Chains A and B, each alone.
Chain A
Amino acid sequence: MTQREIAEQSVPKSVNWLPYRFERLSSDEVLVSNIAGEWVLLDGQQFDQLATLSFADDDLVKLLLANHILITEDDRVSGRLLSLKLATRIRQLPELTGLHIFVVTLRCDHSCEYCQVSRKNSNSTEHDMSWDDAARALDIVFSSPSTNLKIEFQGGESLLNFELIKRVVVEAKRRNIDGSRNLSFVIASNLVPLNEEILTFALEHSIYFSTSIDGPEELHNSNRSRPGRNSYQLATDGIASIRKTLGDDYVSALMTTTERSLDQPEAIIDEYVRLGFNEVFLRFLSPYGHAVKTRAISRYGNRQWMDFYQRGLKYIIELNRSGTEVVEVLASIYLRKLLVNDCGGYVDLTTPTGAGLGALVYNYDGDVYASDEGRMLREMGDDSFKLGSVRTHRYKDLILSERFLDVVEDSYAPSSPMCSDCALEPFCGSDPVFHHSTQGDVTGFKPLSDFCERTMTLVPLLLRLYREDRFCRDLFTRWATR
């Protein structure tokens, strides 16, 4: 409803609360949200009126009615509208397990200090996935109910087992001959092994590439070491080759924040813009795998990352203000939840957890994990998120196992301590793997949770920018609806 439509409404005599939650963001700023994720920001005096249902401000009543925080006594429509909005918000729930990650090899020629996978030497094939296991994994892929199936090949360096990738792609397309699923493929790669044969195959089958660019050449090469110290050159050459053969949209890049990144968010973003990318994902370093062994994860804390993030977001906004269009991906995920009622997509910020329900990971040895991070934990000796094996389990065995259902239930945010009362819960998610890894508990102790602190800091930041800066309002709307 527009501001004008709200203003033109008559003020009812008697109103009651609809179910809502609130959170004080500062001494004079309260976020109020309902179960369908509609929200308003109130000042303290306005919130007091809502809390006591004694209104001195007609416009406030109209605003709260329009956002389904209040209801009139004779209203027979708002409850239905609220349920419709809630149904829209959770519509992705039955679309279980759309992402299927095949770890085709652990071999890799890089030795990145933050590697979360615990790579193996690039000349040994004992850590390659076999065709038999890949075929069994495809049985599971096509047993999942989602109409949209994305198969992502990861490593190690996935292209070191390109022969298997080819067989999986051809076989998956054969199984989808009736076109009943929307099938897509992504190869996550450092692009070093990229060649004409791979590009030709990718073109024939419309395969997307996802690679790593950590920032300017010096930063990238120091983070991602390999013989020859030329990771950056090979990655950017690969990006250029993919764009030339398949098109600009067929390659995307992700960055990982290390201690060396913290003082140069602007340089990292400039590098993405220079390389022709129109989005940057300012990511936190996950506490798994080699990143823990090398202590890369302990070299900076959540607060330092959030300072880095806020500086980066501010710079991206300024770039947009001066005419360079670039999107910050994490902000756009939050903004989709805040502005267009879209909660799908990013498995780390959904509830119930996206691990398992949103994605399954098939390891090189046939073991199946609830998430990529769960697989990384196994490489550290912790198999808490191993669901089974492609050799012995079917899709339903994996998803309906008691062990997994316990994780889903215990981490479900609307019934978790602190989250169940939090007004930011509709815009947050559940990350049982992160909380298990950092706190030894899938629910997570939220007063000390980095995951919680990030949402509690970043969502209010986005809301304030949206409210106070007309340019940000338009920009964020574009990010949310892209």
Chain B
Amino acid sequence: MGYERKRLSGVSVDEGIDYDMIEVVRFDSRVTSLSSVRKGIYRMSGTLGLICREDGSDFVVESNAELNQLEIVTLMRHVNDYQLRESISQETAAIRDAVLAAALIRITREHDFK
């Protein structure tokens, strides 16, 4: 995982408006999932215009404006955190489903749903 900055060709976001997109960071798709990258982008998109595209085996995050160092570090941290959450979710899926089902069965038995 690393990042480099280069100015890419324009992206048409709305009719007649083109934005120059700037490459912000690349994630190796062999170790980082697309959903983690997307969630990281979503988390940052309150104030930033970010998109993701595939380039070979990389997921490339692009922005409509230069990001400062803190924003880039924050984005990378979010993506890493979402990657960890994904691992937790996958590894605990069976017990989570069992716990949820047991709780719902308990509630259903206690109430008369006519």
List chain A positions with a Cβ less than 8 A from chain B: 16-22, 24, 35-36, 51, 71, 79-80, 82-84, 86-87, 90-91, 93-94, 417-418, 421, 445, 447-448
Kindly state whether residue B81 has any CB partner on chain A within 8 Å.
yes
User: Once the chains are docked, how many angstroms separate the CA of A418 from the CA of B45?
Assistant: 12
A18: chain B residues at CB < 8 Å are 92, 95
B98: chain A residues at CB < 8 Å are 79, 83
Minimal Cβ-Cβ distance residue in A for B86: A421
Q: Mark B3-39, 1 if CB is under 8 A from A, else 0.
A: 0000000000000000000000000000000000001
Not counting A79-B95, A445-B46, a sample of 16 additional A-B residue pairs whose C-beta atoms are within 8 angstroms of each other reads A17-B91, A17-B92, A19-B89, A19-B99, A22-B81, A22-B85, A35-B99, A71-B95, A80-B102, A83-B100, A83-B106, A86-B100, A91-B110, A94-B107, A421-B85, A447-B44
Counted as pairs of residues, one from A and one from B, with CB atoms less than 8 Å apart, the total is: 75
Chain A's interface: helix, strand, loop or mixed, by majority? Answer: mixed
Indicate if the CB atoms of A418 and B99 lie closer than 8 Å.
Answer: no
User: Once the chains are docked, how many angstroms separate the CA of A61 from the CA of B55?
Assistant: 42
Indicate if the CB atoms of A83 and B45 lie closer than 8 Å.
Answer: no
Indicate if the CB atoms of B111 and A448 lie closer than 8 Å.
Answer: no
Indicate if the CB atoms of B95 and A87 lie closer than 8 Å.
Answer: no
Indicate if the CB atoms of B103 and A90 lie closer than 8 Å.
Answer: yes
List chain B positions with a Cβ less than 8 A from chain A: 39, 42-47, 77, 81-82, 84-85, 88-89, 91-93, 95-96, 98-100, 102-104, 106-107, 110-111, 113
| Contact residue among A17, A86, A93 (Cβ-Cβ distance under 8 Å from B99) | A86
Measured between C-beta atoms, what is the minimum distance from A238 to chain B in Å? 41
| Contact residue among A90, A417, A421 (Cβ-Cβ distance under 8 Å from B107) | A90
* 4 tightest A-B CB contacts, nearest first: A447-B46, A83-B102, A19-B96, A86-B103
A90: chain B residues at CB < 8 Å are 103, 107
Indicate if the CB atoms of B42 and A19 lie closer than 8 Å.
Answer: no
Indicate if the CB atoms of A94 and B111 lie closer than 8 Å.
Answer: yes
Measured between C-beta atoms, what is the minimum distance from B36 to chain A in Å? 10
Indicate if the CB atoms of B82 and A79 lie closer than 8 Å.
Answer: no
User: Once the chains are docked, how many angstroms separate the CA of A94 from the CA of B112?
Assistant: 9
Q: List 19 A-B contacts (CB under 8 A).
A: A16-B91, A17-B91, A17-B92, A18-B92, A19-B88, A19-B89, A21-B85, A22-B81, A35-B96, A71-B95, A79-B98, A79-B99, A82-B99, A83-B100, A86-B103, A90-B107, A91-B110, A418-B43, A447-B46
A86: chain B residues at CB < 8 Å are 99-100, 103
Indicate if the CB atoms of B100 and A20 lie closer than 8 Å.
Answer: no
B95: chain A residues at CB < 8 Å are 18-19, 71, 79
